[in-house]
Structure 1
């Protein structure tokens, strides 16, 4: 069954944007490395990106609820595309500098937050509620293919040709994403929140979303699970490259291969989640996925076989995709349209904080033993599963879209 023309427009825009993300992921650090040999300045790009996304998440959520989301999605993609094309021109003319690259990264991080939130908030107006799992699965599959398989090698290949080449492609893809989003219908996708026309202070409006999240057991519970799951995710992945070298005896190529292979598990999850939720419901699907993630990490911490590790990582990514689709679909179903941007933002802040905490803890635990953060990550996911048993009702999809 087709998901309809509006969904195809949103999907193609998302696919173009995700391919740009995949190319940028590998090419921007390469550009930084061509401008400086200081590893702190190269690594600082990722830090800047993470901090910017954390700082702008709540204000962006307000603007997603304040203005037309279709317009915001189009503008965010067009502007970041043009900014990156300007960067490409400066690199080609040998005028690019590290401060310019940092500034572009900050702009891209801000606009990516806006585009992502707007896209997630638009989807419930594009497809029927019963098709949200399937639609989110298709978007997730495109993201995995673009981010994990197509984007990074393409970015590396283009950089080998010319430093500016991948930047031109990234900028062009984001511009294309903005133009593709023009095919979305102008009306019928939800609009600006009526109560926000009074233009209260941004901070106060952002707090409205956080209060709603805290007061809704299901959506608030999902946000807490998401924050804890982010800790569990970063515990192993912050040191996985060291684990792969020390315990699995893999070189850089082998490490890349098992990471690419793990994305195959995510693709399986993208196309099967809707069936799982249809068969056993959201609550059981979420609990089963979290238990699966826990088991995969605990087993990974015990193995020294690279082939076994590759399979376990694929199982882990499968769980992560299934959990992510379920959480996103439930939030889209249960959060009132007028609050969707702000609730998405508040949930995102909790996840970003969890990622930062998990990364720091992973490094500390790895000093004791490299398998330890991976095993602890498995324990964290056991806690997530227990929390899901406690906070999720037996039929979360039919909860009321209000506090209580």
Structure 2
């Protein structure tokens, strides 16, 4: 069933942007290795990307609430496209080198944060509340197809043709995403009287964080999201080693098992709304988190590659269902004027969780390569317990306007 023209436009812009992200996932590291054989410089790109997104999250959240979100989405994507096309021209000409790649990647990370927050904040304004689960499911499905199935192999193929080819494609796709977003409706913004002194950016960011901390349900979801990020990175920070040592797979096998796991995510994208409609947010979230816990504990105990692929698909299914439900609830419950800042504050918690999980994963792997995987399962049990209490019967009054109980 159609979700309307505006959602179709937003979905199309997201899909083009996601395909560019999938190209970047493969082509940027490949480009880095063509410029240096020092693994520290190659790994440093991921570190830079994470740090940039963490540093800009809160200021971007303020701007998403201050400015027309369509404008932010258009400008962020077009500027990403221009920056990457400039990088592609330099690569083609053989100038700039590794430092230019770092600068371009920092720009891409900053603008991606802006585009992602604006797009998520736009969804409730183009889709009825009762259809948010379906809308987020379709967005998630497009992201999985573009990021996991289409983007990486296409990026590798284009890089084999010419180092600059996937970079040109990325820039073009991001520019197209920005131009498509021009068809979205313009949001009316409140014009402040000239005599009114606008609060500082950090004051407004703090107000968004304070709103998140005060709201029992949305704040609880952010806490679960931060813990789930720890649980995710515990196994996945060392998963390539786990696949080699425990499952006996080489690099090709590692890629295959990750690609197969995405099938679980697609199933979750198309079933999340149906499951939530049948059993409600409380039990959907609790069941999905427990499913994630069980899949990781079982994964830590197996050395069979086929069983591991199935368990990983089940894990990705849980992650997608949990992500759709938490995003839809936040979109339902957060006032429009706070949506960008609350998204940003929740994102900061999630990024900190990813950093902590990555650190702990490396430390625990020294004991045994299966320990971080098992520990991730334990973290998800804790997440499920928090969700069970958060949505306890009679405790859903914070969701009365969002329909969280249904």
Question: What TM-score range do you get, normalising by the shorter chain?
Answer: over 0.9
What CA RMSD, in Å, does the superposition of the two structures yield over aligned residues?
Answer: 1.5
Q: Deviations over 1:242-296 (max 9, x none)?
A: 1110010001111111100000000000000000110011111000000000000
Q: Matches of 2:177 and 2:291 in 1, distance apart?
A: 35
Question: After the TM superposition, which residues 98-113 of structure 1 pair with which residues of structure 2 at under 5 Å, given as runs?
Answer: 98-113=98-113
Question: After the TM superposition, which residues 1-400 of structure 1 pair with which residues of structure 2 at under 5 Å, given as runs?
Answer: 1-187=1-187, 191=189, 198-394=197-393, 395=396, 398-399=399-400
Flag the 1:396–1:297 CA change in 2: closer, same or farther, 3 A: farther
Shift of 1:399: 3.7
Does the CA contact (< 8 Å) of 2:68 and 2:186 recur in 1?
no
Q: Matches of 2:49 and 2:370 in 1, distance apart?
A: 28
What is the TM-score when the length of structure 2 is the normalising length? 0.96
Shift of 1:201: 1.2
What is the TM-score when the length of structure 1 is the normalising length? 0.96
Shift of 1:186: 2.2
Does the CA contact (< 8 Å) of 2:217 and 2:399 recur in 1?
no
Q: Matches of 2:173 and 2:189 in 1, distance apart?
A: 27
Q: Matches of 2:142 and 2:223 in 1, distance apart?
A: 27
Shift of 1:199: 2.9
Q: Matches of 2:252 and 2:192 in 1, distance apart?
A: 53
Q: Matches of 1:155 and 1:87 in 2, distance apart?
A: 16
Shift of 1:392: 2.5
Q: Deviations over 1:340-368 (max 9, x none)?
A: 00000000000000000000000000000
SS at match of 1:183: coil
Q: Matches of 1:194 and 1:14 in 2, distance apart?
A: 31
Q: Matches of 1:278 and 1:191 in 2, distance apart?
A: 34
Shift of 1:30: 1.0
Q: Matches of 1:128 and 1:391 in 2, distance apart?
A: 25
Runs (4+) of structure 1 exceeding 6 A deviation are 193-197
Does the CA contact (< 8 Å) of 1:283 and 1:396 recur in 2?
no
Q: Deviations over 1:135-159 (max 9, x none)?
A: 0000000000000000011111111
Shift of 1:36: 1.1
Flag the 1:176–1:288 CA change in 2: closer, same or farther, 3 A: same
Instruction: Structure 1: give runs of 5+ residues left out of the alignment.
Output: none
SS at match of 2:226: helix
Q: Matches of 1:224 and 1:256 in 2, distance apart?
A: 31
Flag the 1:195–1:273 CA change in 2: closer, same or farther, 3 A: farther
Does the CA contact (< 8 Å) of 2:216 and 2:398 recur in 1?
no
Shift of 1:396: 7.3
Q: Deviations over 1:50-82 (max 9, x none)?
A: 000000000000000010000000000000100
Q: Matches of 1:29 and 1:160 in 2, distance apart?
A: 13
Does the CA contact (< 8 Å) of 2:217 and 2:398 recur in 1?
no
Instruction: Structure 2: give runs of 5+ residues left out of the alignment.
Output: none
Flag the 1:191–1:139 CA change in 2: closer, same or farther, 3 A: farther
Does the CA contact (< 8 Å) of 1:193 and 1:338 recur in 2?
no
SS at match of 2:163: coil
